[in-house]
Amino acid sequence: MTPPIANQIRRLRFEHGEMTQSDLAERIGMTRQTIAAIEAGKYSPSLEAAFRISRVFEVGVEDVFQWAG
């Protein structure tokens, strides 16, 4: 079941110099496959990972993830 959480990671990556999934994964200590799963909405990250991602893009968590239920 797909979690009802939308995310803007793909857009944010491209707005930050076309950052690759691998680059983002390396910066937050995850695998590229996990970033791909989060981006595709197949996996909801922990609160810690969500904060790590938002800090990479220098935005708030709510600018990266939105409840879409």
Partner 1 sequence: MSFREKSAWITLVTVLVCFGAYYGAVLSGAVSRGFATVHLLAICVAALVGLQIVLHAVAARLSPREAQAPRDEREALIQARSHTVGYYVLMVMVLLLALPVHFGHPPGDLLNFALLDVVVATLAVSGAQIVMFRRGL
Identity of the residue numbered 21: Q
Quote the radius of gyration of the chain (alpha carbons, Å): 11
Q: State in angstroms the smallest separation of the CB of 30 from partner 1.
A: 4
Coil vs helix vs strand at 4? coil
Closest to partner 1 by CB, 15 or 22 = 22
| Residue 26 backbone dihedrals phi, psi, to 5 degrees | -65, -35
Q: In the window 22-51, what residues touch partner 1 (CB under 8 A)?
A: 29-34, 37, 40, 42-43, 45-46, 49
| Residues near partner 1 (CB under 8 A) | 2, 29-34, 37, 40, 42-43, 45-46, 49
